[in-house]
Structure formats: C-alpha cells, structure tokens
Amino acid sequence: MKQELLKVTDLHISFKAKGEPVRAVTGVTFSVSKGETLGIVGESGAGKSVLGLSLMGLLPENTAYIPGGSIEFDGTDLLKLNKKQIRAFRGDRISMIFQDPMTSLNPVMTVGDQIIEALRYHNKEHLSKREMEQRVDEVMELVGIPAHRKKEYPHQFSGGMRQRVVIAIALVCNPELLIADEPTTALDVTIQAQVLAIIRQLQKQLGTSMVLITHDLGIVAKMCDRVAIMYAGEMVEQGTIEDILTGDFHHPYTLGLLGSIPNLEEDTDRLKPIPGLMPPPNALPEGCRFHPRCAHCMEICKHKAPEQHYEHDGHYVACHLFAKEGQRDE
C-alpha cells in the first residue's frame, strides 16, 4: 500500500487587502505518496505558486495568511510549527526549484560554494569538510555538470546549466519532497526536455516525491503519476494521469486545457483556446468560478458552488454535471 508523505486538507490562503481579504486558494485538498509525482496544473493566476510557497512555509509574512486547513508532512502539521522548526524541514526534508534560476542563485558566489552552503546548513550526516566537497562533486556529476566547474560563477553558465545548479542545490540534502514550480518555463524548448529528463531520472534514482507545478499538461503527461487541476484558487479535478488524459469523465475546464495542448502530428488549426479569462482573486464570480467561461453552464452553476464528486479510483470532479441524482437543486 502506498505510504502518504504529504497531506493537504481544506487549505485556504488569503492576502490582506483594503476591504475584503483576497482569497488566493480556497479549500484545497490533496495528498502525495512516497515516491509519487503529483502535477498541479492550471493557467497563470490559478493559485498554484502560492500553494507551492505555502508547502515550503515561504508565503510573504506581511501580506499572506492561512485562515484554515492543514499541511501534514510525514505526520507533522507544518502550519503548527514555529519559524525555526519549519526552517529545519526546508531544504533538508522539503526542497523547492523555482522558475527562474537567475533569481535563485547568488551572482557573487561560486556554484560549488552555493551547493556546499545548502549542505552545511543542515549537515544531518555530520559530514567533514572533505566529505562535503565530495558530496558536491557527486551531486554536480549527477545533474550533468563536470565537478571542475564548481569554482565558476552563475553568469559563466547557460540558462539550462544554471537550472541544473539549482536542481543540485535542491537535491544535495536528499529531500523527501521536491516542489518544482514551472522549473523549465524560463528555458528554451530543447533545454527544457533535458532539464525535465534530469529531474525525472534523479527523482526515480533518489526515491524523492514531487509536486510539479505547471501550466503545461504536456509536461505533466511525461512526468507525473497523478494530476490535480486548479482553477481560480480551487481544485476542480484530480485523478491519475491515465484518467485525466484518456478517461471519460472530465471537468469542462480540464477538457478546455486538453483541447489547448499543441500536437505536432495533428492540424494545429484545431487547437481550441478556452474562451475568456480567469477571474482575478478579488473578483471571483458566485457559484461555480468557471461558469462565465463554461459551455455547459446551467442555471444552478451561477449561484451554487459545486462539491467534489467522486467518480472512481481516486478520481474527483467538482462540477454540477457530475452530481448524482437528487443532488442538484435546480
């Protein structure tokens, strides 16, 4: 039986604003098992990155707050920890790869020093200086950077190589959970494929669980075991990769995302972008948040938010189309 590593339950994240607080994430529930990769997918502004930061305890302190929910990691609710306790988890047991390697790296430190710094901060194995140096060499080789380049600075590396350094920093402490937020968006397409292949290979090799945040269902298809679709701060569908890509039951937003994936073997004229725009978190519509863009919108959708309906084998859809007999109040 799969062992649960991360369990997020009914999580809400809001931002302070003049007037009403702005709800960035509303009632999100999901879990990640040991060794599993969960893709969190949605358009920009869906709340994916805010959710990723909350898992790392990195939400901006002055503006963001969590009105409810829990984030349990290996049985510990991270939301109940103080700053010092959460720092002990961050980098050591949970690591993050951000979108832009240039903003994650220190431009005036050699890449070797930056990797060793991450190791020294935790050093749970009480490694000597020499052993730490060896570990840095190993992790650089693992991500495909010759160890002799550890004395170079970030500006001496290409974009793809810089992202490999970021991956090395994230993995040097052998974390149990890796959160990767659009890890290849800043890279060109050929380099994207190489970096994704490295992440996938290392993750399998080290047995790391991963939450992969992306707007790209194509990337999810290659990397993930399960998928959660986010729209306007809510999770609207969750299922295995097979369920989401080839299954019969889909939330209309998921269908829209599937219809907007480019397929080089097919006529790209048939691509159908989802009409309209995602509402900003300070102007969410009543009822189903997707209703102004939904081709299947019914009267009930305009005033009643749908609940999550269980389909089969862990597949959940939050849409009135899937309500059982008698659950709709039309």
* Shortest Å, Cβ 203 to ligand SF4: 33
Selected binder of ligand SF4 within 150, 162, 250, 291 (CB under 6 A): 291
Stretch that binds ligand SF4, among 1-9, 45-53, 166-174, 287-295 (CB under 6 A): 287-295
For residue 294, give the DSSP letter. Answer: -
Q: Which is nearer to ligand SF4, 32 or 244 (CB)?
A: 244
- CA 98-102-103 angle, 5° bins: 60
Beta bridge partners of 94: 90, 177
Q: Is 143 in the site for ligand SF4 (CB under 6 A)?
A: no
Residue given tokens 């809400």 in the structure block? 12
The candidate with the shortest Cα–Cα distance to 117, out of 129, 100, 125, 102, is 129
Could you tell me how many residues of this chain bind ligand SF4 (CB under 6 A)? 14
State which residue, 193 or 305, has the beta carbon closest to ligand SF4. Answer: 305
Give the binding range for ligand SF4 (CB under 6 A) out of 70-78, 131-139, 272-280, 298-306: 298-306
Q: How far apart are the C-alpha atoms of 27 and 225, rounded to whole Å? A: 23
Q: Encoding tokens for residue 18? A: 């003049």
Q: Which residues pair with 4 in a beta bridge?
A: 33
Q: What tokens appear for 55 in the block?
A: 């898992």
Which of 50, 294, 311, 315 is the binder for ligand SF4 (CB under 6 A)?
Answer: 294
Of 86 and 297, the one with the shorter C-beta distance to ligand SF4 is 297
Q: How far apart are CA 144 and CA 152, in angstroms?
A: 15
Q: How far is CA 162 from the centre of its chain?
A: 20
Residue 41's DSSP bridge partners are 214, 229
Does 320 engage in binding with ligand SF4 (CB under 6 A)? yes
Which one, 261 or 298, has the nearer CB to ligand SF4? 298
Compute the distance between CA of residue 170 and CA of residue 166 in angstroms, rounded to an integer: 6
Helix (H) or strand (E) holding 96: strand 94-97
Helix (H, G, I), strand (E, B) or coil at 30: strand
Q: Label the pairing between strands 76-77 and 308-310.
A: unpaired
Task: Give the per-residue contact string, 300-319, with ligand SF4 (x = CB under 6 A; - = no).
Answer: -x----x------------x
Instruction: With contacts defined by CB under 6 A, name the span among 11-19, 165-173, 239-247, 286-294 that binds ligand SF4.
Output: 286-294
The interface mask with ligand SF4, positions 242-281, x = CB under 6 A, is: ---------xx-----------------------------
Rule CB under 6 A: choose which of 297, 307, 308, 328 binds ligand SF4: 297
Task: Tell me which of 38, 199, 235, 288 binds ligand SF4, using CB under 6 A.
Answer: 288
Which positions lie near ligand SF4, rule CB under 6 A?
Answer: 251-252, 288, 290-291, 294, 296-298, 301, 306, 319-321
